[in-house]
């Protein structure tokens, strides 16, 4: 009988090779998922605007083919440094004046005590979104009270306010995420869309298929249909998975765009305190989908102001 003995150096070499594969081919270990290719993106978008935009009759429709096809990488100076040719309307609203936009989108940003990141977000996003030639408005929903941060509840509040302004499309957006590819139009698709499936902190991979947070595009009607998000997830974690469960419960599928359109960069930030009850809330979430959400939303609005770059809603949760 012949035996083979491997030296420690061989084991070390094999381990080195595995590490090289991991770092040079990160997709090998990522969750595989279906996505919409660039040439099919426009056909998947829902062309809806607010009533004031749809009543405009002058001019031609905006053309989005070049923006999608070129898919420029925009996350760089000077777009990250200052507002270029500032023509943003009061309240953080914009629409092109030389053509009629086909999309109206409310970008809803939950916020508390992250002024530097908010400033970075507003500068870059206005530079980015105006080049897409859509109609949009940025709503910043700030939690004023000292209770644990309730991101999902702030999304619910922002959604109801944006729907009151007649926005047919909602983008639920964290303040620390920056889209890198201009071809990813901030408009709603036929299915709710996970927008940031190629995130730098995850090495541009999707950790698991059910991930549905960070930046999400969903029609207002679909958000109402699932009763919004749970109001119970104070602190960090769980609320995005709960939203995904609500969509599944209604047999609503999600979609994603090609990774080359879905690259995002995350700004450095301090982590929120984890919600110790998040696993229990997720486990029994299905029992609360119809009673915990938009129809149980209670809050106090303590401020509402139209700033130059955003609509600011100050609330106690």
- β-partners of residue 143 are 315
As to burial, measured by CB atoms within 10 angstroms (0-12 exposed, 13-18 middle, 19+ buried), residue 231 is: buried
DSSP sequence for 209-275: TT---SEEEEEHHHHHHTTSS-S---SBSSHHHHHHHHHHHTT---B-B-GGG-EEEEPP-PPPPB-
Fold assignment, 53-220+253-269+302-316: Spore Coat Polysaccharide Biosynthesis Protein SpsA; Chain A (3.90.550)
Cα four-point dihedral sign 11, 12, 16, 19: positive
**Cα–Cα dist 220/72, whole Å:** 28
Q: Quick one: which of 201, 282, 197 has its CA closest to 239?
A: 282
Q: Quick one: which of 213, 211, 232, 236 has its CA closest to 283?
A: 232
**Cα–Cα dist 78/58, whole Å:** 33
Using one digit for the tens of pLDDT, what is the confidence trace for 230-247?
999 988 788 999 999 999
Mean pLDDT of the 162-186 span: 98
**Cα–Cα dist 75/131, whole Å:** 13
Q: What is the pLDDT of residue 15?
A: 55
Mean pLDDT of the 288-294 span: 96
At 56, is the pLDDT very low, low, confident or very high (cuts 50, 70, 90)?
A: confident
Mean pLDDT of the 248-265 span: 97
Mean pLDDT of the 87-92 span: 98
- β-partners of residue 106 are 137, 170
Strands (E), the chain: 93-94, 104-111, 135-143, 169-173, 177-179, 193-194, 198-199, 215-219, 263-266, 300-306, 311-316
Using one digit for the tens of pLDDT, what is the confidence trace for 197-208?
999 999 999 999
More confident residue, 200 or 2: 200
Q: What is the pLDDT of residue 93?
A: 98
At 8, is the pLDDT very low, low, confident or very high (cuts 50, 70, 90)?
A: low
pLDDT of residue 216 exceeding 70, the answer is yes
Cβ pair 262, 206 in contact under 8 A = no
- Listed by start position, the domains of the chain span 53-220+253-269+302-316
DSSP state at residue 190: S
- β-partners of residue 193 are 217, 255
Q: What is the pLDDT of residue 26?
A: 46
> Average pLDDT, whole number, for the chain?
91
pLDDT of residue 273 exceeding 90, the answer is no
pLDDT of residue 64 exceeding 50, the answer is yes
């Amino acid at each position: 009988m012949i035996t083979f003995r491997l030296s420690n150096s061989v084991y070390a070499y094999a381990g080195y090779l595995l590490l090289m594969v991991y770092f040079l081919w990160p997709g090998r270990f990522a969750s595989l998922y279906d996505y919409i290719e660039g040439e099919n993106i426009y056909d998947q978008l829902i062309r809806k605007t607010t009533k004031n935009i749809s009543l405009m009759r002058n001019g031609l429709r905006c053309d989005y083919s070049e923006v999608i096809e070129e898919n420029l990488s925009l996350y760089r100076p000077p777009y990250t440094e200052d507002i270029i040719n500032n023509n943003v309307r009061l309240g953080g609203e914009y629409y092109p004046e030389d053509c009629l936009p086909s999309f109206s989108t409310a970008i809803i940003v939950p916020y508390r005590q992250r002024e530097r990141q908010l400033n970075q977000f507003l500068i870059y996003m206005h530079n980015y979104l105006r080049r897409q030639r859509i109609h949009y408005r940025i709503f910043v929903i700030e939690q004023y009270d000292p209770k644990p941060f309730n991101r999902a509840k702030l999304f619910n509040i922002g959604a109801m306010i944006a729907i009151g302004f007649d926005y047919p499309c909602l983008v639920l957006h964290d303040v620390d995420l920056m889209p890198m590819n201009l071809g990813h139009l901030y408009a709603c698709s036929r299915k709710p869309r996970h927008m940031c499936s190629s995130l730098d902190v995850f090495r541009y991979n999707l950790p698991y298929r059910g991930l549905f947070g960070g930046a999400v595009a969903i029609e207002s009607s679909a958000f109402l249909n699932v009763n919004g998000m749970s109001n119970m997830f104070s602190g960090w974690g769980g609320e995005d998975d709960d939203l995904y469960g609500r969509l599944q419960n209604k047999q609503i599928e999600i979609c994603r765009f090609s990774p080359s359109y879905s690259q995002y960069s995350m700004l450095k930030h301090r982590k929120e305190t984890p919600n110790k009850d998040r696993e229990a809330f997720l486990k029994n979430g299905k029992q609360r989908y119809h009673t915990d959400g938009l129809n149980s939303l209670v809050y106090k609005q303590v401020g509402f102001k139209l700033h130059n770059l955003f609509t600011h809603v100050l609330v106690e949760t």
